[in-house]
Structure 1
């Protein structure tokens, strides 16, 4: 039985612990590039203060780092009924990093620590892989002691090994769709020299990140979601890609027409997982589907990497493009674990009501934007 020492660490302390944090990320029970030092340190430095993670570390008696649980900026306040693990808007997963040696014990110790320091009804673990090793360990830690509920689940596109890229595309979108992609690719080839390059070295990543920001800002997202339109987010992307590249965990792919990038994608690696985090394309070539053409080339490259067991699209559920290209699916869940059983059900109901209200507001805003555009 391991005795854990649990405390919150400052940003400076996390920076000092980067080496052992990197080791934990590489050996974690379940990989997650969005909990690696490159991503989380950049978020803690550059996100607005109310969106920055707070770091809860679990160490053994020998000082070994057994777990890292990033909390939302509210920490242990739990004013809305839940202590929330951090889930940044640019983070596709929120799976905490834990050592595989004592996974259930590590999670149980964290839950006990939160219970002692908070009056909240439960702890909310957002964006977990529903069939992943962490979710299984969470269930084991809760079994017989705490209630566990899934507040939300959805499936998103993923790419698993098995078969060439052509087969994957046909399986996902059908033969007719695949033929349409081929015709668009030929039309693009008639316009000039089409080439793919992938930046991996840190200096190449630095230049590629700037090109990505410029490409994204040139399209419909300009002023409405483009990272370059918010200085803090642009700085975050530069920092995250640079540090992850230093650890060999970042790639930026570019599809070029006569040397000019017309579609780009940023990928992160962690363990046997790869994450297609961001994609942008030049809308002047929309008819030739440059984003789809880039993903076709990336599909071939990812399937040829023997160390990668799954490439996560990081996309929303039912994405109109990637769902018709990649046939595999990854189920994502938001899991809630009780701290105080008497208040847990009510807290879950209130959280679900908040989410329904939020989704309704988003749909109403989208409808209004469409009406203004027409």
Structure 2
């Protein structure tokens, strides 16, 4: 159980980098860039599939108390998120013009800190995916009361029931829309892969199947980029299915001993949660500095170099935040007995992830 699943570790890093890359289109919209950035949009869907996989894979085959599971997950997600949300609130008060949009009312701030769905995205807007994560954890905890072989069927019933309810009732409330959103199916797909991964038959899957899954996954995401029609079932069909196939491909490659070695991607997997949460601050800073320096008036080459500098700075900032803030913070929680002992494949950095 303590052995790191390298393919998942790599995909966590890749998912975080995809989100950062996509967000250069949002935060640095005025800068020309010759390479399409829409494909990074699917990084969130990959995160959701990974989260479902991790939760199912690491809880099967061992007793897990629902309360202990929830405590560990909340202590894994909230501390760094709270720190950066409070930092975002402080910056909003000091320099509201630096924000693309958002609000900072007391009620909004409290609901944002708790990661409870409400009328708007969280103050730290990237946290909208964490709202889904926390909701999924709550439902997954319910399945831990069941015997291992009944967990996946119970999770299917809970999630499919919620999504079906949303599809039938078409609620107008943003809260109900969130808690019945088809995104939940991506967690379920990952959980199903997690259950299958523990089967002896999984080791018999051929490398050729992994290649087909990888090509099909990339193809679905590419088609989704062209046909994306909102964030409902259409997105889950293209991006969610593509992400699940890519996850499956990576796991088969690893089981067959065909996975390449990359220390850098491994490190990006470690730092993925910090990178995910901190990159909006970096990109916002580059947008503000770019305005003052007149970078937008430069040539396409200048624009490209500016975007590359923003991405590189975001990566370095995410890594430093992981080493200097997130890692020591989690270590301190464990030393005080507030959080269970973790390994990277047991309680991954969110997974959360997340655009």
Common topology (TM > 0.5): no
User: Larger Rg: 1 or 2?
Assistant: 1
Give the number of the structure whose residues are more often strand, by fraction: 1
